[in-house]
Every structure is written in structure tokens, then in C-alpha cells.
Amino acid sequence: MKLFRAAIVLFFAAPGAAFAAPSLLARDLPARSGLVVQAPEAFDLVGLHWQGRGAIRFRTQRADGTWSGWHLSAPESDDLPDRGTAEWKRSRGWHLGNSFWVGRSERIQYRVGRGVTRLRAFFVRTPLLGGTPQHVKPFATNAPTIITRAEWGANEAIRRNRKKGPKVADNVHIAIVHHTAGTNSYTRAQSAAILRGIETYHVLGNGWDDIGYNFLVDKYGQVFEGRY
């Protein structure tokens, strides 16, 4: 097993609150079913990448020794960047699994389908310092209240393509409503930490320019500003 990326920990300030950015550790794993692997450190969110045909199923063990159910680590087709973009080119040759919020866990067990040749796990630890804001001002007139990137603690330091800026469509031509993978076992205060973990996995793990969604809605109906 090869540990090839050091933890990245950044601390930065946002208006009215301090946020601790998540750390990410990536590890190449043997592409053999049934193995139980101890993570380099305790983690809260995990995502898997693999090469070759076949699917990946996994479960995680919490600090108290209990195991989660089995998850299918499979991206939806509308999760991926547009073909031909820099983001798409960075991930060529790899299947990018969804990010799963699993709560504080220490081990992972996985089953690989026939044809999988390489497997890589991304373990994200998300400090809960800087929870979801309790009082949010309306984003615009006659619009739902939206928790901004600054309020949930987006890490602008890791966002790519900052000089040229994001490409913005001339208008809304289509809207896709997509459910996330993982669990609904989290508190209202943890939602911002989950977003920080997803952003870290999307940018530092998947190689995307930014978090992959325009808006994110938690199980409490809170709406968060997504991509910059």
C-alpha cells in the first residue's frame, strides 16, 4: 500500500467565524476483495477511485467498532465534468466514486468487481470547528435563504482557475436535481463540515476546479451556495 499525498490542512477566516479546513490523505489499496484496511488516520468522509471494469462496494468501521452497511461507490453520469475540459482530462482513465459521509471511522473493507486493476482511497477528516450558521441573511429578494460559501467555510485557497474565473452560462438551460450518496445520520450543525469535506474531495481528490454542484440542500432544507 502506498501513501502518496501528505495531509493538507489549512486554517482561514471567514466573516464572523473561523473554519478548520479538512485534511485529505490518499492511499493506493490492493485490488482484492474482502480486505480490511486501517486508514492512515480517523476520517469522516471517503471516496474511491478505480481503474478497469467492474464496480466497488465498501463499508466502514466506526471508532466504537460497529460497521456501516455496504455502499456502492459508483458515480452518476451527470456527476462528471464536461468532456474535453481540463477537469475531465485530469481524471481520464479513472472511475471517480461518490463522496460518502460516514462519520468518524477508522477502517474500510471493500469488494471489487472482476476487471478492477487499481484502487485508490481518499480519506477526508473534517473538523467540526465552525458549524452551520444559525442566522443567515436572505441572499436576494424573493429568493430562498442561501448559506453563502463564506458562511459555510469554502476553502478558496484550493479552488482552481481563480485568475480566469469560472465560466458562467448565458442563462439557465437545464436544471438537474441530484441526490447525494451516503447517509442522513448527521446533525444540522454538521452540514457545513460535510460540505467542506465534499469540496476537499472534489478538488484535491477528483482534480476538479471546485465543488461539483451549484447548490446543495441538506436534509433540513438548508440551501448552500456551491460552485464559485
CATH number of the domain to which 200 belongs: 3.40.80.10
Mean pLDDT of 1-24: 51
Asked if residue 182 lies in contact with residue 102, where contact means CB atoms within 8 angstroms, the answer is yes
Q: Write the pLDDT tens digit of every residue in 108-147.
A: 999 999 899 999 999 999 987 666 776 666 666 777 888 9
Q: Which of 90, 125, 160 is the last residue of a domain?
A: 125
User: By residue range, what is the domain housing residue 10?
Assistant: 2-125
Distance CA 214, CA 224 (A): 9
With a CB cutoff of 8 Å and minimum separation 6, the contacts of 51 are 93, 94, 95, 116, 117, 118
Residue 130 forms part of a structural domain: no
- How far is Cα of residue 73 from the mean position of the Cα atoms in its chain? 13
38-84 per-position pLDDT tens digit: 999 999 999 999 999 888 999 999 989 999 999 998 776 667 788 88
Q: CA 162, CA 108: separation in Å to the nearest integer?
A: 35
- Identify the residue whose cell numbers are 480519506: 123
Q: What is the pLDDT of residues 166-223, one digit of tens each?
A: 778 899 898 888 777 678 889 888 999 999 999 999 999 999 999 999 999 998 888 9
Q: CA-CA distance, 124 to 110, in Å (whole number)?
A: 17
How much is the pLDDT for 18? 62
Q: How many domains does the chain have?
A: 2
* Residue 68: partners with Cβ closer than 8 Å, 6 or more residues away: 59, 60, 61, 62, 102, 105, 183
| Prediction pTM value | 0.84
Q: Does residue 12 share a domain with residue 114?
A: yes
Task: For residues 44 and 119, state if they share a domain.
Answer: yes
In 3D space, the residue among 183, 180, 179, 197 whose CA is nearest the CA of residue 69 turns out to be 183
**Considering the domain boundaries, does residue 108 fall inside one?**
yes
173 and 119 co-located in one domain: no
Q: Is the same domain home to 90 and 7?
A: yes
- Whether 152 and 119 map to the same domain: the answer is no
| CATH at 64 | 2.60.120
What pLDDT band is residue 14 in, cutting at 50, 70 and 90? very low
Same domain, 157 and 93: no
Same domain, 8 and 120: yes
